[in-house]
Amino acid sequence: MVKYLFKRLSQSVFTLFVIITVVFMLLRLMPEEGYLGSNADKMSEIQKETILTNLGLRDPMPVQIGNFYKDLAKGEFGKSITYRPDVKVSKILKDKIPYSLYFGLGSIVISLVVGISLGIMMAKSKNSILDKLGNGYIVFINAVPAAIYYLVIQLYVTDVCKLPMLFDKSNPVSWILPLISMSLGNIAAYAMWMRRYMVDEMNSDYVKLARAKGVSEKNIMVHHVLRNAFVPMAQYLPASILYTIAGSIYIESLYSIPGMGGLLVEAIQRQDNPLVQGLVIIYSSLGILGLVLGDIAMSITDPRIKLQRNGGGR
């Protein structure tokens, strides 16, 4: 177990290193105005060169990358240029992360509870009205672009249910629609896969044998069907985290939530390269962490999965 975790963490660190390095180099190919701020048009060429030299952008690329990783090891991402000039990116992120963290974790909890429960009910009442309605919901969520039903929820549900249209920190009621919107995609995915895996398990030979032996339906459902159906569900954990991240980028902007999602959109619009770089590092780290957690969750839920090199680990 320890050997496997060390191997996976080493692979994850290397992958993260490659992603960060590539993003760093790509940002260095962006127009230099992104490092000069909003007054770039009023600067002389000498002033521009002085600023770029002080930022280290005239150094050779290997030197720039080395200096960047030295600062990164100290927890420094540089200073914002246009969003909040001369303010450390780490300070900006410190103010923004709690909002994204609370909404992200909240939406994942809602998705797990509602999605898995819906999938279980659909599997137990296969071909019923509930099953058909659930399948209709899953098809709708996967077929319609998320931006469309996000807007519909904000424009019409707020009016029908008399809920606030924009986020207000002091009003918990205003948190309801963003949380629901962020959860819809994951609810559909969890329900779909839970139903599929449960139906497969319910039709398996060992379940039929258990029924023939007189084992109660409740015992079969809890100790056999649900337990085995949860194993492949663990694979969806990384996608769930990435889905939440992608949703937060749009939803936080839509509801004016002062989190990292809306910040990323604004940082790109303002060409604040150090801030974009810091956000990409965080999002990449979360995505890679999700992959590691998915592997660990599968090994915990199914003892047949061995974590050694010859044991079929991913």
Per-residue pLDDT tens digits for 144-174: 988 898 889 988 888 888 888 888 888 889 9
Selection from 188, 108, 197, 183 nearest residue 153 by Cα: 183
Residue 314 confidence (pLDDT) above 80: no
CATH number at residue 191: 1.10.3720.10
Q: Is 214 left (phi over 0), alpha (psi -120 to 50) or beta?
A: left
Say which residue, 177 or 4, is predicted with more confidence: 177
Question: Does residue 53 belong to any structural domain of this protein?
Answer: no
Range of the domain at 126: 91-268
The overall pTM is greater than 0.85:
no
- List, for residues 65-92, the tens digit of each pLDDT value: 888 888 888 878 888 887 888 888 888 8
Number of folded domains that form the chain: 1
- How does pLDDT run across 251-309, given as a tens digit for each residue? 888 888 888 877 887 888 887 888 888 888 888 887 787 777 777 777 676 666 555 44
Judge whether 297 lies within some domain.
Answer: no
pLDDT for 228 beyond 80: no
| Mean pLDDT on 41-57 | 79
Residue 312 pLDDT exceeds 50: no
Q: Is residue 159 part of a domain?
A: yes
Query: Both tokens of residue 82?
Result: 């246009």
- Per-residue pLDDT band for 246 (boundaries 50, 70, 90) equals low
Between residues 29 and 238, the one the model is more confident about? 29
Tell me the average pLDDT across 174-203: 88
For residue 142, being part of any structural domain is answered with yes
Split at pLDDT 50, 70, 90, the class of 134 is very high
